[in-house]
Each structure stands twice: as structure tokens, then as C-alpha cells.
């Protein structure tokens, strides 16, 4: 059985991998490229834990085939901090205690970054609706929403 040879860009770096057609981008990221920061919560696009961006577009990596990554630019949680400097969202999530178990956190950070790239000054309601595709069972969302709003505020000021 022959595999696909896929060339793509992951967090700015050129990478290549082999995959079967049915392997999802999530499986490729985790099992082939050993980027396990992107989590599987459901495998059906209902929880957002596997959120990544493909050519800047926010998607669930469990609903993308690995082979579709050919020639694309993939961004995952592992590429969010610049070296040792955390992204403001990452910092605000820590300051606001916006994670308890933390397993939904990578997906939420990726989703929140995509929101702020498009709307630097979202209302609380806009944040809540944008993040509706990211389930968190620990926090009740309070501190996540607060952290996103605070990060947006800081990013607008700088």
C-alpha cells in the first residue's frame, strides 16, 4: 500500500511526511510529526481541542486529511510563542488562571488568536460566540473570556 508524500510548512518550517489517505491532519501532527500539543477530544469536530490554522484559516485538524496539507501552511500551538517569549494570549491565560486541566487550552489559544487577528476589539459576546466551538469542561469559561479580552486590550495598546 503506497503512502502519500506530503510537503508542507509547519509553524514556518518546511516539513515532509508520509501518510495514508484516511489519516487526518491531527493524526499526522501527533503520530508522524510528534507535535502532540494539538489534542484529540472528540475526533468529530465538536470540541475544538484539535484547532489549528491552515493557510490562516481556523479549522479542526481532525476534519482535515493529512494529504490535504500539501503545499499549505499549518500553524499549531507549538508555534505560538516566539522563542522564549510567550504570545500575549498565552501569558494572559496564565495570569488569569484561565486553564485548569489545560487539555482544551492549546485549541482555545489557537482559536482566540484567529479571532484577534480578525477582530482586535471583540465584545464579551463576540468572544463567547467565536469560542463556542471550543469546549472547556473545567472552567465554566469565565476566566478564558476574561483572559482573551485582557490580551486583546494589551495587544491593542502595544
Partner 1 sequence: MNEILYETPQTLESAVALLAGASGQARVLAGGTDLLIQMRAGRVMPGLLVDIKGIPEMTAIVAESGGFRFGAAATCMELIEHEAFAKEWPGVTDAVKLIGSIQVKGRATVGGNLCNASPAADSVPALIAAGAVARIVGPGGKREARVEDIPVGPGKTSLADGEIVISFYLPPRSARSGDAYLRFTPRTEMDIAVVGAGVNLTLDETGICNQARVSLGAVAERALLVPEAAAALIGTKVDDDALQRLAAAASAACRPIADKRGTREFRIEVAGVLARRAAGIALDRARRNS
Partner 2 sequence: MDAKVIKQEGQTLKIVGTSPVRPDGTPKVTGLARYGADFALPGMLWGAILRSPHAHARIRAIDTSKARALPGVKAVITAEDFPEQKFEFVGPERVAVNFWHMTRNVMAREKVLYEGHAVAAVAATSKAIAEEALRLIEVDYEPLPHVIDVDAAMQPDAPLLFEDMITRGIDPPPGKPSNIAKRIEFNIGDLDAGFAAADEIVEMSFKTAPVHQGYIEPHACLARFDSNGQGELWSASQGHFVVRAFTARLLNMNIGDVLVHPAEIGGGFGGKTVIYVEPLAAALSRKSGHPVKIMMSREDVFKATGPTSGSSMTVRIGVKKDGTLVAADGVFKFQAGAFPGSPVMNATMCGFAPYDIPNVRSVGYDVVSNRPKSAAYRAPGSPISAFAVESVMDAVAARIGMDPLKFRLLNACKTGTPTVWGPKHAHDGYAETIKAVLAHPAYAAPLGKNQGRGVASGFWFNNGGESSATVHVNEDGTVVVATGSMDIGGSRASMAIMAAETLGIEYDDVRAIVADTASIGYTHVTGGSRVTFATGIAVVEACKKVIVELCARAAMIWKLEPGEVVWENGCAKPAGAAAGKFEPMPLKAVAAKRALTGGPIGAEASVNAGGAAPGFATELCDVEVDPETGSVKILRFVVAQDVGRAIHRSYVEGQLEGGVVQGIGWALNEAYIYDDAGHLLNAGFLDYRIPVASDLPMIETVLVEVPNPNHPYGVKGAGEVNIVPAMAAVANAINNAISRRLTDLPMSPPKVLAAIHSGRKG
Helix (H) / strand (E) containing 60: strand 57-60
Query: Smallest distance from the beta carbon of 133 to partner 1, in angstroms?
Result: 2
Which of 57, 82, 83, 85 forms a contact with partner 1 (CB under 8 A)? 57
Which of 28, 65, 108, 145 forms a contact with partner 1 (CB under 8 A)? 65
SS3 assignment, position 21 = coil
Residue 58 interaction partner, one of partner 1, partner 2, none, beta carbon < 5-8 Å per kind: partner 1
| Whether the Cβ atoms of residue 135 and residue 46 lie closer than 8 Å to each other | yes
Assigned C-alpha cell, 110? 489557537
Q: Residue 45, interface with partner 1 (CB under 8 A)?
A: yes
Sheet holding 57-60, edge to edge: 13-19, 4-10, 73-75, 51-54, 57-60
DSSP designation for 72: -
In the chain, alpha helices (H): 25-27, 88-95, 105-118, 124-130, 142-157
The window from 26-34, 63-71, 113-121, 150-158 that contacts partner 2 (CB under 8 A) reads 26-34
Query: Smallest distance from the beta carbon of 23 to partner 1, in angstroms?
Result: 10
Which residues are CB-contacts of 133 (< 8 A; sequence separation ≥ 6)?
Answer: 47, 48, 51, 60, 111
Residue 71 interaction partner, one of partner 1, partner 2, none, beta carbon < 5-8 Å per kind: none
Which of 15, 54, 138, 155 forms a contact with partner 2 (CB under 8 A)? 138
Neighbours of 138 (CB within 10 A): 14
Q: List interacting residues with partner 1 (CB under 8 A).
A: 1, 4, 20-22, 24, 43-46, 48, 51, 54, 57-60, 62-65, 67-68, 111, 114-115, 129-130, 132-134
Which residues are at the interface with partner 2 (CB under 8 A)?
20, 22, 27, 30-31, 34-44, 46-47, 49, 76-78, 80-81, 86, 90, 93-97, 99-106, 109, 124-125, 127-129, 131-145
Amino acid at each position: 500500500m503506497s503512502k502519500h508524500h506530503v510537503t508542507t510548512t509547519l509553524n514556518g518550517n518546511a516539513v515532509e511526511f508520509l501518510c495514508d489517505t484516511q489519516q487526518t491532519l491531527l493524526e499526522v501532527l501527533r503520530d508522524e510529526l510528534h507535535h502532540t500539543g494539538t489534542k484529540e477530544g472528540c475526533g468529530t469536530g465538536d470540541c475544538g481541542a484539535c484547532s489549528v490554522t491552515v493557510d490562516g484559516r481556523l479549522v479542526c485538524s481532525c476534519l482535515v486529511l493529512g494529504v490535504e496539507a500539501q503545499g499549505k501552511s499549518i500553524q499549531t500551538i507549538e508555534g505560538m510563542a516566539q522563542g522564549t517569549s510567550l504570545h500575549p494570549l498565552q501569558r494572559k491565560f496564565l495570569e488569569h488562571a484561565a486553564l485548569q486541566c489545560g487539555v482544551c487550552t492549546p485549541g482555545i489559544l489557537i482559536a482566540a488568536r484567529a479571532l484577534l487577528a480578525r477582530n482586535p476589539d471583540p465584545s464579551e459576546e463576540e468572544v463567547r460566540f467565536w469560542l463556542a466551538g471550543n469546549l472547556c469542561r473545567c472552567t465554566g469559561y469565565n476566566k478564558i473570556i476574561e483572559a482573551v479580552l485582557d490580551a486583546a486590550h494589551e495587544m491593542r495598546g502595544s
